[in-house]
Structure 1
């Protein structure tokens, strides 16, 4: 067995440290690049969804570039982006809100909710979720037509006490074997309409005001109605 001397041990330690540092740097570089691509892809998807939700408006600006961040418990979070569609006179024609339903079956459901200046829904799209495949993922526009049922609705259509799934006495369908997911989405859409109604003047002004307020989590319902 060759004799190990302090010099050889030091060289071996330095080599190992160098390899470890290079490996860690490579992992960090790959992760940074991956996160940047994921963020870019997510923004492109949102851009397409924003265009989809504002497609019926004759706006003159680029809504993706006309954005503010909003923070309110009715929207479900802090620093949520909202995009504005404006006419040639810069008047707001519609807004696409980011909103969070915190009480999905498998966690928070992130939504894009389009509202015109009269408080009528332009449409709703899901931007991200972790709901059960084959059950809760029916909230995706690519999976079913359910999400399209919000278009044209408002706080008065249906009446406030019917802004719920049928299981809870409302007018919105739930999915077979899955009530929690659509219930969460319906609630988030209703709260977003309430936010718009309460802040209409500020939102329709040339410089919308962002008035943060404490965000209180909405407790998920305790039920066994939805199972993977």
Structure 2
């Protein structure tokens, strides 16, 4: 009996080892493909929020990392992509997090001109309720397109959903998600207005250790 148990244990161990090796091999073989797909997706999103006609540099090559939990919603360094026309900064794209979504963090990215105009906003990741909160995805709803063209002024009233006295539509049966989303946009815009010169003058260091 003991011999049978030992034999079965050995077989299970070998099976687990083979499975682990297989998974590791697949990850190794597909790693570069996954990275390339992520890069293409990022480029596509950046093109949506900062039109190619506005700049002649590669946005992913002009990138810095910033960290500010108060305004960007997380302690983790987030990327800022600088759009330039003939070496002159004309706009930037910045990632931010809404930490108070209905089901957790909502990561977004905003395109902002030098005049504090919102060129576009897109959702990067979220865990909001399908059929309700997921309307923050462009493929589910055109709600995010409504932010394009809005401008930020520190002397003006921040953007807000209609339930909070603002002009932004909320979703039927779901106010927490759009409220969190709009709040993250407001804070990111305020951060950019306060730190624009610093952001535009920082040396490219995406992918390096954040100072």
Give the TM bin, normalised by the shorter chain. Answer: 0.7 to 0.9
Pairing 1:210-225 to 2, within 5 Å after superposition: none
In structure 2, the partner of 1:222 is none
In structure 1, the partner of 2:68 is 72
- Name whichever structure is richer in helix by fraction: 2
In structure 1, the partner of 2:79 is 81
Pair 192,20 (structure 1): closer, same or farther in 2 beyond 3 Å:
same
Q: Secondary structure at the match of 2:134?
A: helix
TM-score, normalised by the number of residues in structure 1 = 0.78
Q: How many residues were matched structurally?
A: 206
* Kept after mapping to 2: 8 A contact 1:112/1:126: yes
TM-score, normalised by the number of residues in structure 2 = 0.83
State which of 125, 137, 159 in structure 2 corresponds to 1:163.
Answer: 159
Unaligned segments of structure 1, at least 5 residues: 214-228
Q: Counterparts of 1:192 and 1:112 in 2: how far apart (Å)?
A: 9
1:201 matched to 2:210? The reply is no
Q: Secondary structure at the match of 2:77?
A: strand
1:184 matched to 2:155? The reply is no
Shift of residue 9, structure 1, vs aligned partner: 9.3
CA RMSD of aligned residues (A): 3.1
Q: Secondary structure at the match of 1:108?
A: strand
* Kept after mapping to 2: 8 A contact 1:154/1:193: no
1:117 matched to 2:114? The reply is yes
Q: Secondary structure at the match of 1:102?
A: strand
Q: Which has the higher contact order (CA 8 A, sep 6+)?
A: 1
Shift of residue 58, structure 1, vs aligned partner: 2.6
In structure 2, the partner of 1:126 is 123
Q: Which has the larger radius of gyration?
A: 1
Unaligned segments of structure 2, at least 5 residues: none
* Kept after mapping to 2: 8 A contact 1:121/1:154: yes
Q: Secondary structure at the match of 1:124?
A: strand
Q: Secondary structure at the match of 1:123?
A: strand
* Kept after mapping to 2: 8 A contact 1:125/1:147: yes
Pair 75,146 (structure 1): closer, same or farther in 2 beyond 3 Å:
same
Q: Deviations over 1:121-140 (max 9, x none)?
A: 11100111111111111111
In structure 1, the partner of 2:22 is 26
